[in-house]
Amino acid sequence: MTKRLLIRTWGCQMNVYDSERMAEVLAPLGFGPTEAPEEADMVILNTCHIREKAAEKLFSELGRLRLVKEERRQAGRDMVLAVAGCVAQAEGAEIAARAPYVDIVMGPQTIHRLPEMVARASRAGGLVLDTDFPEESKFDHLPEARTQQGVTAFLTVQEGCDKFCSFCVVPYTRGAETSRPAAAVLAEARRLVEAGAREITLLGQNVNAYHGEGVGGLSGLVRALAEIPGLARIRYTTSHPRDMGDDLIAAHRDIPQLMPMLHLPVQSGSDRVLQAMNRGHTADEYRRLVDRLREARPDLALTSDFIVGHPGETDADHEATMQLVRDIGFAGAFSFKYSARPGTPASRAPLQVAEAVKDARLAELQALLAEQQRGFNAARVGQEFDVLVTGPGRHPGQIAGRSPWLQAVHAEGPQGLEGSIIRMQAVSATANSLTCVLKDSAKPLPEQHAA
């Protein structure tokens, strides 16, 4: 490798996946990884528009990189500076105006055109702006090879969203719902398994709306993936309650490789707020859906997303959310204050909630969610379950892994067991991890293993 590439990734797992693919399409141009900006011939900031003040954080980072870029230029070494992802898609013109030293601004659907953009930026100079939604799928043009490191992997199967929740910018930055053909997904999954992956997480902005050619819905895809020899665990994220059909619930009951952990965002426990959010479901419909899922898979653990302070939210609405959390019980959750996203309906809505009120509501909600997460982890103490070993632990003589419920696990054990699935018993718990002891020796790696 003669050039150095630094990719900084913010946001969801889909951005992590996209960053991996960007590195892969640039590898034939001679780019290898670096973590040091001053060594980088190219820096890509892969952005997320979901988090609060995303644009401000981007411009702050660009300001620091501008100095590095100038120092390299004075030393006779060029740096290509690129902004990718959802902020680039939504605010490309502002990036061009406020940061004219940026060379490339590209949306998340244009990764396959990145080598061409680099060539144009390097040869002609000036800004290369590509935030179109191309008619052809980027997946049709990305290389087949995947660089697999470790025993877990992400695999994007669906992108975009047609739900148009009032607070969300995804339909405007990722576009309409599209699904990859099942044959392409299965082929990539087989390559990942051949490269050492034992657990694959299927990704999509609205993954359970998957309708790829060849298997139909997500349940059919999961069933097909479960037939791949060596693939021990399957997960998927992120789901929408409106697309959790009977067939997918049955898959949780029938397919042992499908892990008993489901991220199912509800956002609010108030029907009035849910309607204002355009979520398309009520709080009780969500409760009944959870009941059906738990009936199908009694050991299923749930995580969720919550937004407090959506425009018009009252104290009674907030209490309805608190009650829903008490009723259901979550193993974990992401919770945020409402933050206006330009161009979304909620950003123009009246009755915006005061920041101090949002702060207080978020603190109360997060305290309850943290209590539930600690309780869920504590309830695992004394239980036996299979752990996927992901590598060495932090301390000598330790191994690290994942429980079926995605908890971090560490235990005393021999090294070199990456990819093995070992029966363990939890002996203590913290808010974020479990300490376990081995119950038996490492299980062999069968062609199919029910984790």
Positions at the binding site for [4Fe-4S] cluster: 12, 48, 86, 161, 165, 168
Instruction: Report the C-alpha gap between 157 and 201 in whole angstroms.
Output: 10
DSSP type of residue 37: G
Residue type for position 172: Y
Per the CB < 8 A criterion, the answer to whether 418 and 393 are in contact is no
Count CA atoms within 13 Å of residue 157 on its CB side.
Answer: 38
The answer to whether the beta carbons of residues 403 and 385 sit under 8 Å apart is yes
Contact 434, 409 (CB under 8 A): yes
Q: Which of 203, 177, 208 minimizes the C-alpha distance to 192?
A: 203
Preceding amide of 435 cis, omega within 30: no
Collapsing DSSP states into helix, strand and coil, what is residue 427?
Answer: strand
Residue 226 has φ and ψ, to the nearest 5°, of -65, -15
Q: Render 321-382 in DSSP notation, one character per residue.
A: HHHHHHHH--SEEEEEE----TTSGGGG-SSPPPHHHHHHHHHHHHHHHHHHHHHHHHHTTT
Distance CA 104, CA 95 (A): 10
Q: Rounded CA gap, 141 and 350, in Å? A: 44
Pairing, β 104-106 against β 80-85: parallel
Q: Detail the residues annotated as belonging to a binding site.
A: 12, 48, 86, 161, 165, 168
